[in-house]
Structures are given as C-alpha cells and as structure tokens.
Amino acid sequence: MDNIFKIAKSEMLNADTFLLTIESERIAKKARPGQIVHVKCGNGTEVYLRRPISICSVDREKGTFDLAIQIRGKGTKILSNMKPGDEIDIIGPLGQGFSLYPKHRKIIVVGGGIGIFPLLQLLKDHPADNKKAILGFRNRSLVILENEFRQSCDGLFIATDDGSYGEKGFVTDILKKEVEKELPDMVFLCGPIVMMKAGVELLKKYNVPCEVSMEQRMGCGIGACLTCVCKVKKGDDWEYTQVCKRGPVFSGDEVIFD
C-alpha cells in the first residue's frame, strides 16, 4: 500500500520526546517545510483517529524523513514503542507549508516546545543568506535538536523559562532585541498560541511580515470534518477555516488569536 512505510530508526531525544526516521522516497521528495503527516497510531478503536505530526526534516538522497514526537497520550505512546523494521501507516504530506521567497534574504524562525520541529527543515530549505533561530523550552532538560538547528542557521538563541540554559525568559524578548538590531525580511513562528500572538503583535509594530503554524486538534486531516477550524480575517469580518487544509501555516496578520 502507498501509505505503509518502514521505520528505519527510533531514538529518544529526551525523557518524553523521540525521533522516528521513516523510509519513503515519495514523502521525502514531495514534503515542503511546515507540512504535516497524519499518522495511524494503532489498530482497533482505542486510538481511532490519526494524529497530525509535523515533518521535522527530510533526507531527499536517502529517501527518508524524520518526525520528532512528544509523548502526550495513548497515540504518541504507541508510536514511541515502535522499532526499526516495524511498519507505520502514514498519510501525507498534507496542508500548506511555509513560504520560501527568494526575495527574503534575512529570516528569523521562532519556536517554542514542540513548535520547533517544523522549523528545522524550513531553515535547511530556505534560500535566505542570513537565517537566525530563536528556540524556547521550559528548562534545560527539555532542550533538544540543538546541534541540528545550530548547523542549519547563522545564529541560534535559546531561551528557557527558568534560565537553566541559554537566556532566561521568552523567545519573544529575544525576537524584539534581534528585530531592533536589524529588521528581518520575514519571521516564521510556531509554538503555543500566546507566543505566536505576542510575536505577531510585536512584528506588526515593526512592519515585518510573518507566518505562523497553527496547532489544532484534528479529525480527518483532509478538510472533511471541521474539527480543526481556527478564526481568520475576511475583509472587515471573520470566518472559520480548516487548519488541516488551508494551514497549518497562515500569514500572521490573517489569524485571529483568541
């Protein structure tokens, strides 16, 4: 079947987050940064719905892609027990990814928690010649993929809530400092809603465009069920739109965060 793939590698990144490397030439070639896959987590009705996971990185030569997954509940726990050689049922790549415009020469990516994952392949693929990454974690023990991010950008900044690693405080505080030093052409944000909302409001003041990747619980993943809607502007009014189909990436000035 076209959506059954083999797991090449599974490794823990910290106490509750693991990386799955999956063999699929098609997904590795086709996936664009910011797109997601919809993963079946088990047989039977216990975990009936597929779970949306961002494509973290791809190796187009080897024909593999990586998913970084935090164990949250039943579905992700089942995935964490999968071993190399096991088969996994995945639909994708799905959704609209980040914009990669060659005219954007200076970019900043801002991620918080599991929101950092889709930003790694974005840094690798974006044609900009100055790329900075600002990543936020609750504390030192949760800092992951640091080397991978460092190797994919020109400047990496890490913030932790408790100051146990990098700078103490919010990623948006570092973003403010960097924007005031030199205006970027584009900023990409992914993480908790409060973080993205604060980032979008900040960037608006400096007239810097941005894109955000929205996380909503999903049902079908293909635009058929309305589980995943978020509010977006429509002229002077607003409407609900499906994150799985029109997103997960949206222009920052389009989304209504509430």
Ligand X SMILES: Cc1cc2nc3c(=O)[nH]c(=O)nc-3n(C[C@H](O)[C@H](O)[C@H](O)COP(=O)(O)OP(=O)(O)OC[C@H]3O[C@@H](n4cnc5c(N)ncnc54)[C@H](O)[C@@H]3O)c2cc1C
Task: Give me 109's structure tokens.
Answer: 């990516």
Q: Which of 3, 70, 80, 164 binds ligand X (CB under 6 A)?
A: 70
Contact between 156 and 110 under an 8 Å Cβ cutoff? The reply is no
| Adjacent-strand bridge partners of 143 | none
Q: Which of 3, 130, 164, 216 binds ligand X (CB under 6 A)?
A: 216
Smallest distance from the beta carbon of 205 to ligand FES, in angstroms?
A: 32
Residue 113 lies near ligand FES (rule: CB under 6 A): no
Task: Give me 59's structure tokens.
Answer: 């190796």
Residue 37 lies near ligand FES (rule: CB under 6 A): no
**CA atoms within 13 A of residue 226's CA, in its CB half-sphere:** 2
| # residues near ligand FES by CB under 6 A | 12
Q: Which of 117, 149, 157, 250 binds ligand X (CB under 6 A)?
A: 117
Residue 135 lies near ligand FES (rule: CB under 6 A): no
Q: Which of 76, 96, 121, 160 binds ligand X (CB under 6 A)?
A: 76
Residue 122 lies near ligand X (rule: CB under 6 A): no
Smallest distance from the beta carbon of 223 to ligand FES, in angstroms?
A: 5
Residue 91 lies near ligand FES (rule: CB under 6 A): no
Task: Give me 83's structure tokens.
Answer: 């071993």
163 binds, among ligand FES, ligand X, none (CB under 5 to 8 A by kind): none
- Our CB check for ligand X shows the closer of 143 and 179 to be 143
- Nearest residue to ligand X by CB is 73
Residue 69 lies near ligand X (rule: CB under 6 A): yes
Q: Report DSSP letters for 133-189, one per residue.
A: EEEEESSGGG--SHHHHHHTSSEEEEEETTSSSSEES-HHHHHHHHHHHS--SEEEE
Smallest distance from the beta carbon of 251 to ligand FES, in angstroms?
A: 19
Report 239-258 residues binding ligand X (CB under 6 A): 248
Report 214-253 residues binding ligand FES (CB under 6 A): 218-221, 223-228, 242, 244
Alpha-carbon distance 60 to 81, whole Å? 26
225 binds, among ligand FES, ligand X, none (CB under 5 to 8 A by kind): ligand FES
- Our CB check for ligand X shows the closer of 135 and 208 to be 135
* Interface residue list for ligand FES (CB under 6 A): 218-221, 223-228, 242, 244
* Interface residue list for ligand X (CB under 6 A): 36, 47, 51-54, 68-70, 72-76, 114, 117, 215-218, 248
